[in-house]
Structure 1
Amino acid sequence: MISDDDFLALVSKTPLISVDLILRSRDDNILLGRRNNRPAKGFWFVPGGRILKDERLADALVRVVRRELGAMVPVEGWRNMGIYEHLYPDNFAGADGISTHYVVLPHRLDLDSEVALESDDQHEALRWFSVDELMAHDEVHPYTKAYFARPAEPLDRLTDGL
């Protein structure tokens, strides 16, 4: 593992790559967690986590599902939902003048049955929201709302003009 000082130096100089987990229940609700950590501390957000150095995307997805949701949530059947960017004015350490930039690969799974969820230390609570409810809720982070407001732009439109 990397030290907090080394990680802060990394955050100050480069984007992080992460996966977000859009888990939809049989009754069409979306699972959100109230974040304990920066950035986005205190907001309801879809679960997720960064991809580690030398970790394959498929392995990262399994690790993040297990860590954030527990052993009962399926690790098969997740579908990539595009590419997003999340830009935050702060960072995990609360250090002044260092922003956080994520390139996010959200993945969605539609559950066909109920599963037991296990909350982790990243979230104060887990809760199911209807899409209408999360879109109207002031404490749901705008980056989570973006997953439901419009589809992700295709990669070729993101790279036009490069």
Structure 2
Amino acid sequence: MDKNDRWVPSDEWEVIVDNMPIVSVDLIVKYEGGVLLGLRENEPAKGEWFVPGGTVLKNERLTEAVQRVAETELGCEVAIQEELGVFEHFYDTSEIDGVDSNHYVANAFVVEPVSGQQVSVSDDQHSQLRVFEPPFEDLHPYVHQYLEQIA
């Protein structure tokens, strides 16, 4: 089955986000002795240090989505170390005007960049990337939820 690699038109996406949970992948990126987080530029979680992530496209396998998100947001390929599990994220904000909340069903994966590859900000989701090391303090509760499971 061919994957649907096109984006949903914005008017349709608004209806979906307003009425449905969104299936996504989140990447817990092990990097340089810590965990790589990006400073969010967009809602939800704007202004927070958060894991890279994105929606899953129709007919796209979760592992394919992980690679696409890594290439899009970090500019590199990753090796999947572990499928951490499924998490529900509820936000009282949205990136869409007129939509007041988001609900994600996030499939979390622990990953590492493929040997020799460097990471960099590659899209408009994050203004910068930073490696965080334990103890992990002052991070978004959903990020803490991930980090507690890999500690």
TM range (shorter): 0.7 to 0.9
Q: CA, structure 1 residues 43+50, in 2 after alignment: closer, same or farther (shift >3 Å)?
A: same
- Amino acid across the alignment from 2:125: Q
Instruction: Give, in whole Å, the separation in 2 of the partners of 1:111 and 1:92.
Output: 28
Aligned to 1:43: 48
Residue 125 of structure 1 is aligned with which of 118, 124, 128? 128
Q: CA deviation at 1:45?
A: 0.1
Q: CA RMSD in A?
A: 1.9
In the alignment, structure 2 segments of 5+ residues that lack a partner are: 1-6
Aligned to 1:103: 105
Instruction: Give, in whole Å, the separation in 1 of the partners of 2:63 and 2:147.
Output: 24
Q: CA deviation at 1:67?
A: 0.6
- Amino acid across the alignment from 1:142: P
2:85 alignment partner, SS class: coil
Assess if the C-alpha contact under 8 Å between 1:33 and 1:125 holds in 2: yes
- Amino acid across the alignment from 2:86: I
Assess if the C-alpha contact under 8 Å between 2:44 and 2:95 holds in 1: yes
Instruction: Give, in whole Å, the separation in 1 of the partners of 2:47 and 2:64.
Output: 28
Q: CA, structure 1 residues 118+111, in 2 after alignment: closer, same or farther (shift >3 Å)?
A: closer
In the alignment, structure 1 segments of 5+ residues that lack a partner are: 152-162
Structure with greater proportional strand content:
2
1:63 alignment partner, SS class: helix
For 1:92-126, what per-residue CA distance to the aligned partner results, in whole angstroms no more than 9, with x for missing partners?
Answer: 11425x31100011100246856311212110100
The structure with the larger Rg is: 1
Instruction: Give, in whole Å, the separation in 2 of the partners of 1:16 and 1:146.
Output: 19
Aligned to 1:3: 9
Assess if the C-alpha contact under 8 Å between 1:26 and 1:110 holds in 2: no
Instruction: Give, in whole Å, the separation in 2 of the partners of 1:90 and 1:147.
Output: 21
Over the matched positions of the two proteins, sequence identity in percent amounts to 38
TM-score (norm 2): 0.85
Aligned to 1:156: none
Q: How does 1:1-162 map to 2 (within 5 A)?
A: 1-27=7-33, 29-71=34-76, 73-74=77-78, 76-95=79-98, 98-110=100-112, 115-119=117-121, 120-132=123-135, 135-137=136-138, 140-150=139-149
Assess if the C-alpha contact under 8 Å between 2:80 and 2:109 holds in 1: no
Instruction: Give, in whole Å, the separation in 2 of the partners of 1:78 and 1:63.
Output: 16
Q: CA, structure 1 residues 24+3, in 2 after alignment: closer, same or farther (shift >3 Å)?
A: same
Count of residues in Structure 1 that have an aligned counterpart in Structure 2: 143
